[in-house]
Amino acid sequence: MRTDTGQVFKLEDYRPSDYAIPRTELTFRLAPEATVVTATLTIERREDTALTTPLVLDGDGLALSRLEIDGREPDLSAYDATPDRLTIHVSPAARQFRLTIETVVNPSANLALMGLYRSSGVYCTQCEAEGFRRITYFLDRPDILSVYTVRIEARREEAPLLLSNGNPVESGDLPGGRHFAVWHDPFQKPSYLFALIAGDLGRISDQFTTMNGRTVDLGVYVEHGKEPLAAYAMDALKRSMKWDEEAFGREYDLDVFNIVAVSDFNMGAMENKGLNVFNDKYVLADRETATDTDFANIEAIIAHEYFHNWTGNRITCRDWFQLCLKEGLTVYRDHEFSADQRSRAVKRIAEVRALRALQFPEDQGPLAHPVRPRRYREINNFYTATVYEKGSEVVRMIRTILGTAAFRAGMDLYFDRHDGEAATIEDFLKAFEDASGRDLSQFALWYHQAGTPHLAVTSRYDAAAKELTIDIEQSVPPTPSETRKRLMHIPLAFGLVGKDGQDMLASSVDGATVEDGVIHVHKRRHSVTFSGISSRPALSLNRGFSAPITLSVEQKAEDLAFLAGHDSDLFARWEALHTLFSKAIITAYRRLRGGKAAEFKPELAALAGAIAGDETLEPAFCALALTLPSEADIAREIGGDIDPEIVFAARLALAQAIAAANRQGFEAHYASLVDGGEFSPDAASAGRRALRNILLDHLSLLPDGAGLAARHFRDATNMTDRAAALAVLVHRQGETQEAAEALARFESTYLADSLVMDKWFQIQASAPGAETLDRVKALMRHPSFSMNNPNRVRALIGTLANASQTGFHRADGEGYRFLADTVVDIDRRNPQLAARLATAFRSWRSLEPIRQEKARAALLSVAQTSDLSADLGDIVQRTLA
Ligand code: B3K
Ligand code: ZN
C-alpha cells in the first residue's frame, strides 16, 4: 500500500516522457504466492533526450530479482531499485535497447485488488489507474503506448484457462503438469489496459460478424455451473457491437472479444483491450436471482466497457487529468445505447435522478472538482460522478448545441484524427469546433470549472402587447479553491405551453440566441422577449434536463400542476410533479420542526393519482412519477441545518397522504398489473413490475399493508418482485412477524448465492431508524459477510452510510463513529474501497449543529490515524478542509 506522502500532481506539470517503450514482452510463471514476472521492454530514447538522462521506471511495492540491459547484467552502480522506483542511471549509447526485468509478486496476499491478485482461486489483474507498476517496473502512464506480447505459464490443473489481451497466438504443454499460452495484441496500448486471467472457469461462446464481414469469436467466462446466467450479458454484448456500428460507425478490431466475471472487484468492470474483466454482479443474471435494475445495469456496463474500445482504448488519455475524455464520453455513449434499447424518456429521468443523487452532492460539497481536474493526490479518488456523469452531460450539451449531424461529424473527425493516440480534452473540443465552425471556448468552462451553475428565472406576460418576457440570471457558486467563477454557456431547452398543452410559437424573439427550442444563456443576465404570444403560457424550462444546473423559477403551483399533466416533454412532466412533491415535503418539514403537524393540499395527491392512472403513459414513467424524492434529495433542496429524522417524517407523511387519497385507484391498478408468470427482462415488462411494486409500497402504508406485502413476497415469481416486497416489509413495517419471516425465508433460500445475499444485506442496511446501525453491526458476523469482498462491504456498510439517512445520521453520532472505525480497518487491506466508503461523509456540513460536530469528530479520528493510505488520507483531508 502506498502511504500518504501528501504529494500533489498538477496538470501544468505534464511533459512527455524522456523514453518510449514501443514493445513490451511479458512472461508470467504463475504460482499462488510467488509469481515470477519477466518483462522485456524495448526502450527508445527520444530524439531530444540527453544520453545522461536517467530512465526512471515506476514501481509499487516491487522486489527486483534480476535485471539485464541488452542481455547483460549491469554493474550495481548502473541502476538503483527500490520498491517504488527502478532508475537506470546511464543507458546504452544506442537509441534503442532492451531491458529485462524480473520481479516476484504474491497474488494471494494482494487484498487491495490492484495489480495481480487472486479471486476465488482465479488469477486476475486490475491495472487502471496505476496497478501495472505493482506487477513490474514500467513507465506506468497512459501516454506510453506499447505493443504487448504475453506468455502465461501455469499448472494446467489449477489454471486450464490462460487469457490476455489481443489475439491468441500459441499454446501447449510444459513439463511437470504445466502449460502455456501466448497472446499478442497488435494495437499499441497504455499499461493500464493490460490484463491477464488464469483459472478454471466455464465459458459461453458466440460470434459476431462486423459491418465489414469479419467474424469475431465472443466468450463470456464465469464460474462453472453459472454459464446459463451469462446469456443476458452475451446478448447485451452483441447488441452493443451492432449499435456502435450503426450509431457511431465503430467496428470491432480483434479476432476475439472476451469477458470474464470475477467475484472480488473494486468497481463495476474494466475495459482491458479485448479482455474485459467484470465484477460478477454485472454479468450474472436470471429471473430467479436478478432484479430488473440488475438487468439494466448489466446491459449498460457491458455496453460501456465495449464502447471503450474506441473511446479509451484506441484513443486514450494523454494523462490522468484527461480521465473524462474517455469516461464522460463513454458514459454518454452507453446512455444513448440504453435510451435506444429502452424508453428514452424513462432513461433520461433515471439519469437525472442519478446525477442529482451522486454528482450534485459532490459538486456542492468539499469534494467538488472540475470535470477535468487540475490537481490530484490520488487519481483513484477521481473516478467520480463528476468525471463520469457530469462528463457525460457535457458531451450531451455539445450535441444539443451543435445538433445531431454536426455532433456526429465532430465525433468522426475526432476518431480520424486521434486514432492510435493519447489525447486531451482540447483535442476533443477542437474536433467539434473544426467540424461545426462553432466557437466552444466559453463552453469549455464546463470542463474547467467546478460547481453546479444556477439559473434564477422570473417571467411576466403583457396581455395587451401579447409579449412574454423571461428574465434569466446566471450564477456559479464558489467551490473549494475556486472562489471566482466565470460565466458559462448554458443551453436551456424550453417550451411555452399553451392552454391546449401545445407549445406556442413566437413571431419573434429578442434578447438571447434562441435556436431549436434552446435559449443559449452565456451572460450574467438575459431578458428574453417572445412576441405574438396570444395568452399567458406555462413556462417549461430545462426540458430533457438540457443542462446539469439548478434552477429556481418563480412559478405558480397551478402552472407546475398543468405542466405535470400536459407538457409534451415527458422529462418536464416528471420534473414538474417532483418539484411540487419537494416543495410540499419541505413545507411539511418546516411545520414539523416548528412543532406543527404536516399538512398537504388534497390537489397534490389527486394529481399523483391521476398521473399514476393515466393509461396513455408508460408504466415505467408512472412508477418514476410515484417514487417520491429521496430523503437525500429533500435534504439537498433544504440546503442546511438538516435534521434527517424530520426529513424522514415529512416525506413519509406525504407518502401516507397520497396512499390514503388514492386507495381505491391504487388497489385496482395494482390488481390489474398482476404478474402473469411469464418473465421477460425487457423494458416494458420491467416497467409494469416497477409500477406494481411502487403501488405496493404506497398501499403498504395503509391498514393491512403488511398482509399485502407478505402475499406479494410469497407469490413472487422473480427477484424484482421478491426483493421489492421484502424491502417494503422491512422498511415500512419494522420488526413485524411478517418481516422476520420473509427475511428468514429469503436467507435460507439464497444462503449459497453471494450476489443474492447482498440484496438481503442491502435491504436490511437501508431500513430507516436508529436501530439499523445495530442490525448492520450484527450482520457483520453473518457467515456470508466478508470484510475482504468489496460487494459485501458495499452492500452492508456502503448501504447503511448512503441509503439509511436515519440509521447513519443517528442523533448520538454512533453511525459516524462506526463508519470512521470501519474505513480505517478496511484501509489496511483495500485503500480504494475505504476511500470510496468515506465519501459518505461529504455532506456533513449541511447537518444541524449537533450532528455536524459528531461527524467532524469522527472524520478527525480518521485523519489522525497513523499510516493512512494516500487514498483515504486524501478523501478525509479534503472532506474536513
Ligand atoms: N475504467 C474503469 C474504472 C477504473 C477505476 C480505477 N480506479 C471502468 C470504467 O469506467 O469503464
Ligand atoms: Zn469507463
**Residue 194 Cα to ligand 1 middle (Å):** 13
DSSP symbol at 74: P
DSSP code for 628: P
Domain enclosing residue 280, as ranges:
9-288
CA–centroid distance, residue 413 to ligand 2 (Å): 22
Can you give the CATH number for the domain in which 575 is found?
1.25.50.10
Is a pLDDT exceeding 90 seen at residue 5? Answer: no
128, 389, 875: residue to mutate for ligand 1 pocket, most atoms within 8 A of CB: 128
At residue 109, the pLDDT reads 98
Pairing verdict, β 256-262 and 215-222: parallel
Indicate which residue's Cα is closest to atom 4 of ligand 1. Answer: 128
CATH number of the domain residue 241 falls in: 2.60.40.1730
For residues 739 and 730, is the Cβ–Cβ distance under 8 A?
yes
The reply to whether 442 and 473 lie within a common domain is no
Residue in 306, 317, 383, 386 to alter for ligand 1 test, most ligand atoms within 8 A of Cβ: 383
Instruction: Outline where DSSP puts E strands in 120-268.
Output: 122-126, 146-155, 161-164, 167-174, 178-189, 196-199, 202-209, 215-222, 256-262
299 C-alpha vs ligand 2 centroid, how far in Å?
14
Residue nearest to atom 8 of ligand 1 (CA): 270
Lowest mean pLDDT of 186-190, 647-651, 733-737, name the range.
733-737
Annotated catalytic residue, options 25, 305, 351, 575: 305
Q: Give the pLDDT of residue 735.
A: 82
**Residue position matching grid coordinates 436508529:** 770
Same domain, 738 and 778: yes
Picking from 433, 448, 463, the residue at the C-terminal end of a domain is 448
**Does some domain include residue 860?**
yes
Instruction: State the Cα–Cα distance between residues 877 and 881, nearest whole angstrom.
Output: 6
Over residues 708-719, the mean pLDDT reads: 97
Identify the residue whose cell numbers are 474483466. 277
Angle at 697 between CA 695 and CA 698, to 5 degrees: 65
User: Does 2 have pLDDT greater than 90?
Assistant: no
Residues 440, 459: one domain?
A: no
Looking at the structure, tell me whether residues 521 and 618 fall in a common domain. no
Q: What percent of the chain lies above the pLDDT cut of 70?
A: 100
Select from 791, 814, 802 the least CA-distant residue to 284: 791
Provide the residue count of the chain: 881
Q: What is the pLDDT of residues 83-102, one digit of tens each?
A: 999 999 978 889 999 999 99
Q: Are 204 and 248 in contact (CB under 8 A)?
A: no
Same domain flag for 58 and 129: yes
Where residue 531 sits, what CATH number does that domain have? Answer: 2.60.40.1840
DSSP letters spanning 712-771: HHHH--SHHHHHHHHHHHHHHS-S-HHHHHHHHHHHHHHTT-HHHHHHHHHHHHT--STH
Domain identity same for 440 and 475: no
d(CA 562, CA 440): 36
Q: Which of 193, 217, 216 is nearest to 131 (CA)?
A: 193
Enumerate residues 6+ apart whose C-beta is below 8 A from 578: 629
pLDDT at 613 over 90: yes
Instruction: Please check whether residue 555 lies inside any domain of the structure.
Output: no
- How does strand 316-317 pair with strand 275-279? unpaired
- Asked if the structure places residue 858 within a domain, the reply is yes
- Using CA of residue 608, residue 613, residue 617, residue 623, what is the dihedral sign? positive
Pocket test for ligand 1, best of 262, 270, 379, 380 (most atoms within 8 A of CB): 270
Q: Is residue 209 part of a domain?
A: yes
**Average pLDDT score over the chain:** 97
Least confident of 171-175, 214-218, 655-659, 674-678: 674-678
Q: Of 448, 479, 499, which residue is a domain's last?
A: 448
Residues 686 and 702 in one domain: yes
Alpha helices in 419-525 (DSSP H): 425-436, 445-448
DSSP secondary structure of 772-820: HHHHHHHHTTSTT--TT-HHHHIIIIIHHHHH-HHHHT-TTSHHHHHHH
In a domain, 659, yes or no: yes
Residue 439: pLDDT over 70: yes
Residues 169 and 25 in one domain: yes
| Residue 458 and residue 436 share a domain | no
Per the domain annotation, does 40 fall within a domain?
Answer: yes
Q: Both 364 and 461 in a single domain?
A: no
Q: Which of 750 and 4 is assigned the larger pLDDT? A: 750
Q: Output Rg (C-alpha) for the chain, integer angstroms.
A: 28
For the stretch 322-379, pLDDT in tens is 999 999 999 999 999 999 999 999 999 999 999 999 999 999 999 999 999 999 999 9
CATH number of the domain where residue 350 is located:
1.10.390.10
pLDDT tens figures, 286-332: 999 999 999 999 999 999 999 999 999 999 999 999 999 999 999 99
Q: What is the model's pLDDT at position 1?
A: 66
Q: 490-501, pLDDT tens digit by residue?
A: 999 999 999 999
- In total, how many domains does the chain have? 4
Distance, CA of 512 to CA of 515 (rounded, Å) = 10
pLDDT digits (tens, 9 = 90+) for 838-853: 999 999 999 999 999 9
Residue ID of nearest Cα to ligand 1 atom 9: 270
- The conformation of residue 815, written as its DSSP 8-state character, comes to H
- For the CA of 379, the closest atom of ligand 1 is 7
Q: Which of 288, 303, 337 corresponds to the end of one domain?
A: 288
Distances (CA, A) of 55 to 50, 166, 360, 646: 11, 28, 43, 61
Check if 426 is active-site: no
Q: 615 and 691 in contact (C-beta within 8 Å)?
A: no
Q: What is the pLDDT of residues 381-429, one digit of tens each?
A: 999 999 999 999 999 999 999 999 999 999 999 999 999 999 999 999 9
Do the domain assignments include residue 309?
no
Do the domain assignments include residue 562? no
279 in the same domain as 320: no
pLDDT of residue 836: 98
Residues 745 and 615 in one domain: yes
Predicted TM-score (pTM) of the model is 0.99
Pairing type for strands 196-199 and 202-209 reads: unpaired
pLDDT interval class at 813 (50, 70, 90) = very high
Residue 314 CA to residue 224 CA, distance in Å, equals: 33
Other CB atoms within a 10 A radius of the CB of residue 589 amount to 24
Which strand (E) or helix (H) includes residue 684?
helix 683-699
Q: Whose CA is nearest to atom 3 of ligand 1?
A: 270
For residue 832, which atom of ligand 1 is closest to its CA? 7
pLDDT tens digits for range 228-287: 999 999 999 999 999 999 999 999 999 999 999 999 999 999 999 999 999 999 999 999
Residues framing ligand 1 (Cβ under 6 A):
128-129, 267, 269-271, 304-305, 308, 327, 380, 383
**Confidence at 60, pLDDT banded by 50, 70, 90:** very high
- Dist. CA 146 → ligand 2 center (Å): 21
